[in-house]
Structure 1
Amino acid sequence: MTTTEIAAAADQGSWLSTLVDAVVGLMDVIGPYGAGVAIAAENLFPPLPSEAILPMAGLAASRGSFALWEAVLWTTVGSLLGALLLYGIGAWFGVDRLRRIAARLPLVDAKDVDRTVAWFEKHGGKAVFFGRFVPIFRSLISIPAGVVRMPLWRFALLTTLGSLIWNTAFILVGWYLGEAWHIVEQYMDVVQNVVIVGVVAAVVWFVVVRVRAQRADRRAEQADGAEVPAAD
């Protein structure tokens, strides 16, 4: 059975079917390198779900299209290459440019950037490693690592280790579950939705807190301006 036939068997009418077809087409043409290219693209465009791409690579490996270790190796290489590109974008952007932009944005100031940089310099290693297991953040975490210029060797090592674990787990899902791999996708959709809701809630909380703080500052300024100096 070819990987194209595997995709047809696994397709459950999901909106991901077009994506799966494209990934499978790459694997048909260039083998496990195709999965690596797809995962590199997933790093650059987070809505692409590695939770669908990786099991397909495991499924193809289980059918003999290529070796299991090849699937793990090339998807991990793809993860690293995509992450390095985002790291480079963050490094090019830099802290100074980020401060200048923050100073022009409503509800944000340069001190927020300084606090974020300080936090990342202290906890960045954990964020890069564990961030590889969180949908959406798995890709985006590479940008602040580049902004603060985390040592490249450390970033590459942590990214490789985290990606290796994540990729291996989902490739094995496809390897062992076969055509039933899409069951896991349903659970991962729930996790991703929880992450999105959490991010939205955090943004709303930030906006509410900042708006209230700015209103309080304006009221204090108005009260100070309304005070009449006492007569001698």
Structure 2
Amino acid sequence: MWSSHRFAGLWLTVVSFCEAIFFPIPPDVMLIPMSMSKPHLATRYAIYTTLASVLGGMIGYGIGFYAFEWVQQIIINWGYQTQFDKTMIWFEQWGILVVFLAGFSPIPYKIFTICAGVMQMFFFPFVLTATVSRFLRFYLVAKLSAWGGEKYAQKIRKSIEIIGWGVVFLGIIGYFLYQFFK
């Protein structure tokens, strides 16, 4: 089983880093089986995934900040233009809250990292918020996978998406409540 391979942690880190910049497959596809096969290492895997994802997010931010015109054609060619446009609107409306929600949402994380750079969001709050939200997501995935094992693997994959959209929904409600009572 590949999830037990001696370089599995390294590959998880590489995939997590690349996914935050350009890679189309989320690290969950590796994190889940690795956490199931070695439950005692689930937290460590979540930390690896988080750190690599945040580092990749920093690169994505830099691309958006310094080289967006170069990347714009790639966004169009990969079919992310609609998601990118929505994300830009969200950034304009909600600012840093979008980065937190991005850590949980099923929308590709790379879109958010590049948009944060395009919007020239303050870098330190971006990194801090990304670290917290990504860790919470990956820790939840890793621990649920370790706890549920193979028997619950498919349910966990579906639940993470539901939880992700639930967090986005709660964030939107929170924003509107904040605006209403402001």
Range into which the TM-score falls when normalised by the shorter chain: 0.5 to 0.7
Return closer, same or farther for 1:190/1:156 CA change in 2, 3 Å cut-off. closer
Correspondence for 2:129: 158
2:103 is aligned, of 126, 132, 143, to: 132
The question of 1:93 aligning with 2:67 is answered: yes
Distance 2:155 2:93 in 1: 38
> SS in structure 2 opposite 1:141?
helix
Correspondence for 1:39: 16
The question of 1:178 aligning with 2:155 is answered: no
Q: CA deviation at 1:31?
A: 4.8
Distance 1:186 1:149 in 2: 34
Alignment of 1:149-228 (within 5 A): 149-180=120-151, 181-186=153-158
8 Å CA contact 2:145, 2:156 repeated in 1: no
Q: Which amino acid aligns with 2:155?
A: I
Return closer, same or farther for 1:143/1:55 CA change in 2, 3 Å cut-off. same
Q: For structure 1, which segment, 32-41 or 80-89, has the greater mean C-alpha deviation from structure 2 after superposition?
A: 32-41
Structure 1 segments unaligned to the other structure (5+ residues)? 5-20, 102-112, 195-232
Correspondence for 1:58: 35
Q: CA deviation at 1:189?
A: 6.8
Bigger CA radius of gyration: 1
Correspondence for 2:119: 148
Q: CA deviation at 1:175?
A: 0.3
8 Å CA contact 1:39, 1:53 repeated in 2: no
The percent identity for this pair of structures is 23
Distance 1:50 1:61 in 2: 16
Distance 2:24 2:163 in 1: 13
8 Å CA contact 1:90, 1:145 repeated in 2: yes
Q: CA deviation at 1:37?
A: 1.7
Distance 2:138 2:49 in 1: 7
Structure 1 vs Structure 2 CA RMSD: 3.1
Q: Which amino acid aligns with 1:72?
A: A
Alignment of 1:47-86 (within 5 A): 47-62=24-39, 67-86=41-60
Distance 2:154 2:91 in 1: 35
Q: How many residues align?
A: 149
Answer 1 or 2: higher relative contact order, Cα 8 Å, separation at least 6: 2
8 Å CA contact 1:61, 1:71 repeated in 2: no
Distance 1:68 1:51 in 2: 12
2:94 is aligned, of 123, 130, 137, to: 123
8 Å CA contact 1:32, 1:70 repeated in 2: no
Q: CA deviation at 1:61?
A: 2.6
Q: CA deviation at 1:191?
A: 8.7
Distance 1:137 1:174 in 2: 21
Correspondence for 2:171: none
Structure 2 segments unaligned to the other structure (5+ residues)? 74-84, 166-182
